[in-house]
Structure 1
């Protein structure tokens, strides 16, 4: 499944009217996400200013992230930088995550997860709680996590057996979960 901004809205990872932004050579671009995953109300802040100004007013809405970032770079900055990864650089302001990270979470929500994955999630959640208890019992403060979230253990989808093709995805999910928990 190739997730879009619209899919992320349906999955409640992004809300209507949330803002996104990206930076390029000290310049900052910001926009609002509206119904259907459209990108509107583009604003630009020069690297020489601290004030945002409206830009790209000739476009009602952008239907893709790539179209928006390319218009910002080419039409506003006159930069024809061809190797710019929009998904990896555009930040969702409310979560401070890249849209690539949110897209990965969206894909996970819609993928089938086997029982072994749920066991591993439970084990990791238990380990995190044990570590938090240890920290508190020793009179220390539990550090605030960057993106604290707990993965529900109730399967919403049909559980499937892990096959060789899914093994790599399973390992990537484990690494991603561990990295997100301890950021």
Structure 2
């Protein structure tokens, strides 16, 4: 009978610790991928998506991406990268944002979203799910790993890469940039 109070105390302590963690987690801004319904831009996307087109721009490295959902509805995003014009390479906000509704860094309906905000994390989740199902994306991730570990050069990264994979390389590049900051 003397051990019963210890068991009760341990149970109460664990319950309180879990409750504290749950409340604290819900109050902190999110990290990592988020579900698409958290983004008005992605709410109606029917998965799986396919990568339709992509392009890099000479403004310092911005990348445009067009993807289509399972119904064939196309959407455009752009990862802004104006580092050529930026004095402080550590500055992200305002220079490295995701731009929705535009394939280009500037567009008529373009809308810049906050870095690591719910919409950016929803895009990250969508791209993560695409990459987990796409064999080309997996191969590109493998090549990026080899390149980053210094096991291959940039020429070898591109060697034998069919032209059809080029847009997917841009998608993986955007995915990796979002993953790194979320």
With structure 1 as the length reference, what TM-score do the two structures score? 0.29
**Higher-Rg member (1/2):** 2
With structure 2 as the length reference, what TM-score do the two structures score? 0.29
Return the structure number with greater relative CO, CA threshold 8 A, min gap 6: 2
